[in-house]
Amino acid sequence: MSLAYSYLLFIVLGIFLFCYFVGTWVWIKVVEKEKKTHLQDDKISSNNNIKNRRDFLYLSSLTIGGVGVATFMWPFIKSMNPAEDTLALGTTEVDLSNIGEGQSITVKWRGKPIFIRKRTPQEIKDANKIDIAALRDPEADTDRVKKPEWLILEGVCTHLGCVPLGQKTTDLKGEYNGWFCPCHGSHYDSSGRIRKGPAPENLAVPPYEFISDTLLKIG
Ligand code: FES
């Protein structure tokens, strides 16, 4: 169960139990008031004991009932969670240990190709030595990576959605030594930023985190 759904579940149950106990408390008070109105003064003392016992029984029954209803509701609320296999599709784990410097691999995440590139020192240098203000979609390389050597991108051209070339060593990489989209001629640099051609934006960076030095989780 995801953390967000756990919170939702506890909030819903909390609201339910809160309403339940407030309602029970109000109901007991109303019954108590009604009884006070009808009881004779000389019977109050003896009846108070009976009333207190009865209130205790009411409250106990209602509490057990409330817990029972909450338990009954649990599976229905829990069924609102995405299934485990759906959650698994939302993330992809990638072993990075076999990717050498200057190499790229492509994995699938939510139906999209994800480019994972272990950049060379020269590629990192090239990505950082440009005037960011002059870019069509200004973004510093350092804002697009978590570790300089690892560049993680959605391999979807931001023009019309083709998959750019540049993953294979034999591919064209465009004029900026990154990726080249042959559909209409967009050139991306070694940070995946658009440098030339019709694409309006940089290649997107998906959400990801490094679980360890060699394990990446996308999504
Ligand atoms: S889809 Fe990539 S340039 Fe048009």
184: annotated active-site residue: yes
Mean pLDDT of the 31-49 span: 65
The pLDDT assigned to 124 comes to 98
Which comes out higher in pLDDT, residue 87 or 57? 57
Mean pLDDT of the 159-183 span: 97
Residue 31 has pLDDT above 90, yes or no: no
Minimum-distance ligand 1 atom for the alpha carbon of 184: 3
Q: In this structure, what CATH number is given to the domain that contains residue 136?
A: 2.102.10.10
How far, in Å, is the centroid of ligand 1 from the Cα of 166?
A: 14
The pLDDT assigned to 210 comes to 98
Residue 153 has pLDDT above 80, yes or no: yes
Minimum-distance ligand 1 atom for the alpha carbon of 157: 2
Q: How many CB atoms lie within 10 A of CB 81?
A: 16
Q: Which amino acid is it at 114?
A: I
- Looking at the fold, whether 211 and 113 belong to one and the same domain comes out as yes
- Looking at the fold, whether 126 and 191 belong to one and the same domain comes out as yes
Per-residue pLDDT band at 43 (split at 50, 70, 90): low
Mean pLDDT of the 193-209 span: 98
CA pair distance 36, 9, nearest whole angstrom: 41
Per-residue pLDDT band at 26 (split at 50, 70, 90): confident
Q: What is the token pair recorded at 48? A: 């108070």
How far, in Å, is the centroid of ligand 1 from the Cα of 193?
A: 14
Q: Which helix (H) or strand (E) holds 43?
A: helix 41-78
- Looking at the fold, whether 60 and 15 belong to one and the same domain comes out as yes
Minimum-distance ligand 1 atom for the alpha carbon of 197: 3
The pLDDT assigned to 85 comes to 60
Domain boundary among 81, 99, 120: 81
The pLDDT assigned to 15 comes to 76
Mean pLDDT of the 200-219 span: 97
Which comes out higher in pLDDT, residue 57 or 119? 119
Mean pLDDT of the 106-134 span: 97
Mutation probe of ligand 1 site: the residue of 154, 156, 158, 159 with most atoms within 8 A of C-beta:
159
- Domain containing residue 52: 3-81
CA pair distance 2, 82, nearest whole angstrom: 9
Q: What is the token pair recorded at 130? A: 């440009």
Residue 168 has pLDDT above 90, yes or no: yes
> Residue of the nearest CA to atom 1 in ligand 1?
160
How far, in Å, is the centroid of ligand 1 from the Cα of 189?
A: 15
- Looking at the fold, whether 107 and 24 belong to one and the same domain comes out as no
Domain boundary among 81, 103, 118: 81
Q: How many CB atoms lie within 10 A of CB 163?
A: 18
| Residues whose CB is less than 8 angstroms from the CB of residue 163 and which lie 6 or more positions away in sequence, other chains included | 113, 155, 156, 157, 181
How far, in Å, is the centroid of ligand 1 from the Cα of 144?
A: 21
- Looking at the fold, whether 97 and 51 belong to one and the same domain comes out as no
Q: What pTM value is reported for the model?
A: 0.64
The pLDDT assigned to 90 comes to 87
In the set 38, 159, 184, 187, the catalytic residue is: 184
Residue 4 has pLDDT above 60, yes or no: no
Number of domains in the chain: 2
Pocket of ligand 1 (CB under 6 A): 157, 159-162, 181, 183-184, 186, 197-199
